[in-house]
A and B are shown apart, each in its own frame.
Chain A
Amino acid sequence: MEPDAPKRPGKGAAIILTLFFQITVALFIYALLKAENAVVVALLLASLGASFWTVSRNPAALDQLAATLRQHRAMALSLTLLILLAVPLLVGSDVYILHLLILAQLYAVLALALNFQLGSANIPNFATSASYGIGAYASALLATGLGIGFWLAVPAAVLIATLLCLAVGLLAMRARDTHLALVTIAFAVVVHQLLNTLAWTGGANGLSGIPVPTLFGHSFADPLRALGIRLPSQANFYYLSAALLAVMILAARRLQASRVGLAWNAIRADEIAARAQGIDVTRYKVTAYLADAAFAALAGAIYAAYISYISPENFTFLLSVTIMTMVIVGGMDNIAGVLIGAFLITVLPEKLRLFSDYRLFIFAAIVIAFLLIRPQGLFPKRLRAYGAAA
């Protein structure tokens, strides 16, 4: 153990601290989701900023909190799970909150997927909207055109999107930096234009009447009944997107902690040095892209089934910039940071509708401000620890 390791609180105190922390976070999120006017939102943001400022001035306390949470990991995880499961019950008839949470979860998947590239390997991919859109359109077309069921259409859509992105990636990932960014922007624009003009994707009108999934005879359009409780139909998709996000977090943690994550980090730090260590840079950039594309397509397929009507306007360049903002604000290569960034950047624009026409501009300003003032994001990436340091 390091000599200056934080003193651990006693077991009872640690349990109380863990519970207190989690319940505070949950209450904060609930208050933010419930907030009706800009003043309340501003107050909540101010309190968040104040706690962030306090914590960043006192990193030892943060380490202690993290250590406590790790120590009582099973309890912390089960409480989180319980809160997440109970959300549809807690929000009652306010289904708009469920809608926001579904979007936040799908966007969090997109942001964590993009983090494989942007955060781990420093690949500026502006084409999240393309892989997300291809996933959505492919599953919708398979369902409406060929009558293939949701649970089969989703993996097929993921496969189609991944293969298309493989073809693009093999060409694009030979480029670097600005050139690579330009190629991805071009891909995003081309996909958007194609969706807009092709007859079989419905052109600008998009695709409607995407069938609702059913599972074991239960339609996702019906209210969810369990244990004598009746939950709104949105709860179906809330749980589905929560499950997807859980899988995404697990995958992100595994990859980040692995030798693949190290190879990506090597490329991020210095491509030439990475090649000298025997890393096939193009191959690992392509795999980061494919990992991103597969999860983005998965999120897109679920999104299409959720809102049952998609059009090219759902998959614009603005979406790519939004997802990128989440990663940069939250903290590149920091999974918890990206999750927080995704939640804030999904919910705040909905709450502060006043700037809805200027979103692209505002996001661009936020990204530039962060890259200049705090390029590591709110939550900087952490060094890996091997046995001895833990």
Chain B
Amino acid sequence: MSPLLQVEGVAMHFGGLVALDHLDLTVARGELVSIIGPNGSGKSTLFNVISGFYSATRGRVMLDGEDITRASAHRLRDKGIARTFQSSRLFLDLSVLDNIIIGMHTEKPPTVLGVLFRPANAGRELNDCARRAEALLGEGFGTLYEQRHRPAGTLAQADRRRLEIVRAIARGPKLLLLDEPSVGMAEAETQGFIDDIARLRVNFPDLAIALIEHDMRVVEAFPDNVICIDQGRVIVRGDFSAVRKHALVQEAYLGKAAHADA
């Protein structure tokens, strides 16, 4: 059986700038991979390539053995790749519930004619989505359930991050890409986020998660499977204690001189 996600020799060039340079990565079903690396190493670019926002210059991306290198972002969401963004991108003027219901868009995408001529059916679908969104919020995620009728723009920063994750998993994806989800969180909020992810792992055992993270407390909480990217390549993969001691990682983060001193 092929791995869930297979990134093979992917390069991403923007004009003369090489953001990704022959990158290989595999993610198995149900696996959690933490991705670390210095700023500008290509982590977010990798997510944009996998989720279809960028089209790789070279190489290919396979999902479940299917070549998705050229597939567009909305098609990939339908195929099971969901993501969050480094600076959260909620629909701020819509309620928490509406944000989650939009996350279910790809199950039976609605049509204008369907809504106009089969209104009862369309209403049933919407109410069904609303009910399931409430049920999903009932599984945890702090106080989002209590705030479900409020506009997303009125949520606190940590709750916005949370809501973005709930919206992403609303339609049961196979692969969840989280781009620095804990950025800007206070310590207690980071712990809450770690708990959220741990519960996701229990409730959705088949869900693979790739997590770009700068906060080492989060990486330590999921230490089994860490990769470090530098200059558009994977330089090392392993458990956190091994990765952090690896010479190339130290060099990537601290520079050559610091490594020589260490």
Residues of A within 8 A of B (CB): 251, 254-255, 257-260, 262-263, 265-266, 269-270, 272-281, 287, 290-291, 381, 383-389
Cβ A276 vs Cβ B112 within 8 A? no
Considering the chains assembled together, what is the distance between the CA atoms of A265 and B106 in angstroms?
A: 16
Considering the chains assembled together, what is the distance between the CA atoms of A177 and B237 in angstroms?
A: 43
Cβ B77 vs Cβ A276 within 8 A? yes
Most buried by B among A269, A280, A290, A381: A269
Considering the chains assembled together, what is the distance between the CA atoms of A278 and B171 in angstroms?
A: 10
Cβ B122 vs Cβ A386 within 8 A? no
Cβ B115 vs Cβ A279 within 8 A? no
With contacts A259-B105, A259-B122, A278-B106 taken as known, whether A269 is within 8 angstroms of B112 at the C-beta atoms is no
Cβ B98 vs Cβ A265 within 8 A? yes
A262, A280, A291, A387: which contacts B98 (Cβ < 8 A)? Answer: A262
Considering the chains assembled together, what is the distance between the CA atoms of A266 and B152 in angstroms?
A: 12
Considering the chains assembled together, what is the distance between the CA atoms of A258 and B115 in angstroms?
A: 7
Cβ B149 vs Cβ A273 within 8 A? no
Interface window among B3-11, B19-27, B88-96, B211-219: B88-96
Q: Cβ of B69 < 8 Å from any Cβ of A?
A: no
Q: Cβ of B174 < 8 Å from any Cβ of A?
A: no
Cβ B127 vs Cβ A386 within 8 A? yes
Considering the chains assembled together, what is the distance between the CA atoms of A163 and B120 in angstroms?
A: 28
Considering the chains assembled together, what is the distance between the CA atoms of A262 and B110 in angstroms?
A: 10
Considering the chains assembled together, what is the distance between the CA atoms of A262 and B171 in angstroms?
A: 16
- Which DSSP category, helix, strand, loop or mixed, fits chain A's interface? helix
Q: Give chain A nearest CB distance to B45 CB in angstroms.
A: 15
Contacts of B106 in A (CB 8 A): 277-278
Bitwise interface map of B from 97 to 111 toward A, beta carbon under 8 Å scored 1, else 0: 110011101100111
Q: Give chain A nearest CB distance to B98 CB in angstroms.
A: 6
Q: Give chain B nearest CB distance to A251 CB in angstroms.
A: 6
Most buried by B among A270, A278, A381: A278
Considering the chains assembled together, what is the distance between the CA atoms of A275 and B54 in angstroms?
A: 13
Q: Cβ of B40 < 8 Å from any Cβ of A?
A: no
Cβ B98 vs Cβ A287 within 8 A? no
With contacts A260-B115, A270-B91 taken as known, whether A279 is within 8 angstroms of B127 at the C-beta atoms is no
Contacts of B74 in A (CB 8 A): 275, 277-281
Considering the chains assembled together, what is the distance between the CA atoms of A122 and B53 in angstroms?
A: 22
Cβ A257 vs Cβ B126 within 8 A? yes
Q: Give chain A nearest CB distance to B106 CB in angstroms.
A: 4
Cβ A389 vs Cβ B149 within 8 A? yes
Cβ A263 vs Cβ B73 within 8 A? no
Bitwise interface map of B from 33 to 62 toward A, beta carbon under 8 Å scored 1, else 0: 000000000000000000101000000000
Cβ B116 vs Cβ A254 within 8 A? yes
Q: Cβ of B249 < 8 Å from any Cβ of A?
A: no
Q: Give chain B nearest CB distance to A285 CB in angstroms.
A: 12
Q: Give chain A nearest CB distance to B180 CB in angstroms.
A: 15
